[in-house]
A and B are shown apart, each in its own frame.
Chain A
Amino acid sequence: MKEEDVIIRTVIRLIVPFIQIFGLYVIFHGGSGPGGGFQGGVILAASMILYVMAFGVHEGRRRLTEKTNMIMRSTGLFIYSGIGLLAVIFGGKYLDYGAVPLPFIDHPSEIRAILIDGGVEVGVGITVMAVMVTIFFELYPGGTPDD
């Protein structure tokens, strides 16, 4: 397994957690500033890609296994459409977030804001991140397990 120079590895080991924190910030801050699920998911995927480029595919696969990636890929979309379906169950229209009754919050616009920030954007982010990492692993030499 070819690994990069020790300086590159150390710098990337230091910088990856900060990139991931920033990615999470972009996802969760999507409602009140620039950003959102798509952008944050891509930043999270970029941190993973950077890690694999320095430490090799096997180390990257150990951190994010094929199985976990597969589950994450579907989970994000499931969260999004599940929230939409939840609104139908509680008597609203599909994706009409205001119809979902959350405890202690009675104003529909606040419910909408909470579900957008904590549900929809997170779901989009998870799917985008998992798909970007999937494409990278498939295109990277030696990235597929049966190669």
Chain B
Amino acid sequence: MRLLPLITVLLVGGLLIWSAQDMPDVGDPDAPTNLHVAPYYIKHSEEEVGVENMVSAILADYRGYDTLGETTVIFTAGVSVLLLLRRRED
């Protein structure tokens, strides 16, 4: 009975390791993820946003909606903690 999970784990792990061989190297400039919008950000973020830190420019300006959503998620987490964990005697 214990053997089946072990075989499954080894099989899935082996599959993942085998398929990871085809992934591009870390930081490879020719990787597909680095060829889509990244060159545009690297070239234009300084003149368009005026912020030296490229990460901040993407985070707060190009992906402004995303960051607003993240902040809302954190706010919602705080409110949920208040609603769920606070014990009150009704």
Interface residues, chain A, with chain B CB atoms under 8 Å away: 30-34, 36-38, 73-74, 76-77, 80-81, 84, 95, 97, 107, 109-113, 116-117, 120-121, 123-124, 127-128, 130-131, 134-135, 138-139, 144, 146-147
Contacts and interface: CB of A to CB of B under 8 A. Distances in A.
B53 A113 contact: no
Contact of B74 (A30, A97, A127): A127
B78 A73 contact: yes
Contacts of A110: 50
B85 interface: yes
Contact of B51 (A31, A37, A146): A31
Given A84-B64, A95-B65, A135 B53 contact: no
Interface residues of B, number: 32
Contacts of B33: none
